[in-house]
């Protein structure tokens, strides 16, 4: 019984993570964590204004400092599972 409860809790936690990463399109969050340094929050509006982001495979990755874009661009596959938002329609070509 105890194992069943633990497994149930773990399954719910995994589902919660999946739902959080596939959040439906809608209102853009005010903050997101940096794609390269995921413990550092980034103000989405400020990063957008300062062009502190990169678009990769339909996703937009935001950065906390000037050193992160270069690290991301040198190996985007390393960071593509990190925090990101869908690339805005206005940016897609």
Q: How many Å apart are CA 52 and CA 41, to the nearest integer?
A: 13
Report whether 76 contacts 56 (CB < 8 A).
yes
pLDDT at 82: 95
Residue-range domain boundaries for the chain:
25-91
Q: Do the Cβ atoms of 63 and 83 come closer than 8 Å?
A: no
**What's the confidence (pLDDT) of residue 28?**
85
CA 10 to chain centre: 22
Residue 4 has pLDDT above 80, yes or no: no
pLDDT of residue 89: 86
Range of weakest confidence among 16-30, 35-49, 66-80? 16-30
Q: Percentage of the chain with pLDDT > 70?
A: 69
């Amino acid at each position: 019984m105890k194992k069943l409860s633990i497994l149930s809790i773990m399954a719910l936690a995994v589902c919660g993570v999946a739902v959080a990463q596939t959040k439906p399109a809608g209102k853009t969050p005010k903050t997101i964590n940096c794609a390269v340094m995921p413990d550092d929050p980034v103000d989405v509006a400020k990063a957008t204004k300062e062009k502190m982001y990169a678009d990769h495979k339909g996703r937009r990755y935001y950065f906390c400092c000037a050193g992160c874009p270069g690290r991301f661009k040198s190996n985007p596959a390393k960071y593509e599972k990190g925090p990101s938002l869908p690339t805005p329609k206005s940016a897609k070509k």
